[in-house]
Amino acid sequence: MQLSKIIHGCLYAAVAFSTVVIACPDYDELPFYKALNESNLSQDELMKRWYTVIASDGPSFNPTTWPDSTLPYCFEDDNSRTQLAHIIESAWNVWQASGVNYRIDMGEYNDCPDPVNGAVPRGAKYMLVRAQNNGKMVTTVGTQIYSSGMGALMRFDPSPAIGMRDPVANMVHEIGHAWGFFHEQQRPSFWKYGEYAEAKGDKNQIKFVCENMSDYDIVDGRLDGTIDDACHSYGKAKDLGFSALEFMPMPLPFSAQLDDGDYDWKSVMLYASPIGGAVRNGAPANVYTRASDGKVIAYNKTPSQRDVSRFNAMYSEKAPYPNPCLINQGCSPKKAVFMNAKAKCKNVGKD
């Protein structure tokens, strides 16, 4: 509990370019936080589980890793910046504190285009960040070669009443998608072949209770119990707009995964048992339990060591630093403002 207070006190403390700066420690000064994710697993064991885009050193027409180990983003409008700037910065701090190499970085793009009709357009060189209030969070996985007017997009509702009931934790998960991670529970080997469409496993890793989904009424009366109905097929669930699609196995030709070893039950990319569940008696119902022992999987609010190990393996440690692409690094006219705010943050209370 004390650790939680310290972390959240820092997470919500400072927003770059704000005129009010509150003191908060650097995450390098919180080694006990990183220790939460320590493991006795060997490096080989840590690398056994992942489901991500295929890393690439050059442009690709399929989803892949960001060039130069750098993820630049632009806010769609002032409202998006106001609502999400501190959340996205805090969530990235969590990834860094968990062990992501310091040369791998994300931040506001140094060359965001001017707004068109009040909104910054999507673009191929950055991820557009959009605030919304519809209870949904959707993020493009990785980056790729885009046609004109298109580009990576994060749509994020900062409500504390959805997902993990914690906006920063929800953003940690979405940032995983942005860098190239798919859902752990959607790997085909996670589900039993013959029981779920596109499944390739020899058994189910979870016991999925479809009728506990919050929007089950969409498919109620339209199920036939086969692998092709919306409770067993990603494609059918997607066609009907049923949220179970976020659980169903989803084979992708442009993904990379390893299938030996245990599944990563601590991955921040694994949905917790209550996510997506209908609210009953004031709490969301569990939509699944672990098949092997009936365990309810709690919210994973920070990256696991396997998440971090795969992250560092996907991206080069030779990324440019300082990085001229981001406004908090390199030769940017906004860098002085950023560094001044950072200095004030560190010096508060020293006078």
What rounded mean pLDDT belongs to the chain?
80
DSSP designation for 296? P
The pLDDT tens digits of the residues spanning 195-225 come to: 999 999 999 999 999 999 999 999 999 999 9
- Return the pLDDT at 57: 74
Least confident range from 21-35, 45-59, 129-143, 237-251: namely 21-35
* CA distance linking residue 326 with residue 58, whole number of Å: 20
- Say if residues 175 and 94 touch (Cβ distance below 8 Å): no
The answer, yes or no, to whether residue 280 has pLDDT greater than 80, is yes
- Picking from 33, 104, 39, the residue whose alpha carbon sits closest to that of residue 265 is 39
- How many CB atoms within 10 Å of residue 304? 23
The pLDDT tens digits of the residues spanning 66-91 come to: 998 999 999 999 999 999 999 999 99
Banded pLDDT at 54 (limits 50, 70, 90): confident
Banded pLDDT at 351 (limits 50, 70, 90): very low
The secondary structure of the chain in percent helix, strand, coil, rounded to multiples of 5, reads 30, 15, 55
Mean of pLDDT values over 242-252: 89
User: What are the CA-CA distances from residue 310 to residues 43, 50, 52, 79 (Å)?
Assistant: 10, 7, 9, 34
Of 295 and 329, more confident: 295
Of 185 and 340, more confident: 185
- Picking from 12, 55, 4, 50, the residue whose alpha carbon sits closest to that of residue 30 is 4
Q: Is the peptide bond preceding residue 322 cis, with omega within 30 degrees of 0?
A: yes
Of 308 and 2, more confident: 308
- Say if residues 271 and 183 touch (Cβ distance below 8 Å): yes
The β-bridge partners of 148 are: none
- Return the pLDDT at 263: 82
Cβ neighbors of 40 (< 8 A, separation 6 or more) are none
- Return the pLDDT at 30: 34
Least confident range from 36-50, 86-100, 176-190, 335-349: namely 36-50
pTM, entire model: 0.79
Of 236 and 63, more confident: 236
The answer, yes or no, to whether residue 26 has pLDDT greater than 50, is no
The answer, yes or no, to whether residue 331 has pLDDT greater than 50, is no
- Picking from 180, 152, 20, the residue whose alpha carbon sits closest to that of residue 86 is 20
The pLDDT tens digits of the residues spanning 298-312 come to: 999 999 988 998 898
Strands 279-280 and 153-156: what pairing?
unpaired
If you average pLDDT over each of 43-47, 136-140, 263-267, which comes out highest?
Answer: 136-140
Question: What percent of the chain is modeled with pLDDT above 70?
Answer: 74
Residue with tokens 């998608």: 177
- Return the pLDDT at 58: 75
CA torsion sign for 187, 193, 194, 195 is negative
Of 111 and 11, more confident: 111
- Picking from 69, 269, 261, 295, the residue whose alpha carbon sits closest to that of residue 186 is 269
Q: Is 184 helix (H, G, I), strand (E, B) or coil?
A: helix
Of 322 and 314, more confident: 314
The pLDDT tens digits of the residues spanning 150-192 come to: 999 999 999 999 999 999 999 999 999 999 999 989 988 889 9
- Return the pLDDT at 317: 65
The pLDDT tens digits of the residues spanning 13-24 come to: 233 333 333 333
The answer, yes or no, to whether residue 279 has pLDDT greater than 90, is yes
CA dihedral 326, 76, 173, 247 (to 10 degrees): -140
Question: Which tokens in the block code for residue 318?
Answer: 């030779």
Of 165 and 343, more confident: 165
Question: Which tokens in the block code for residue 6?
Answer: 């310290």
Strands 70-75 and 105-108: what pairing?
parallel
Question: Which tokens in the block code for residue 95?
Answer: 């990834």
Give me the helices (H) in the chain, please.
2-11, 31-35, 43-46, 78-97, 167-179, 234-240, 305-314, 335-347
The answer, yes or no, to whether residue 45 has pLDDT greater than 70, is no
Of 4 and 317, more confident: 317
* CA distance linking residue 234 with residue 197, whole number of Å: 7
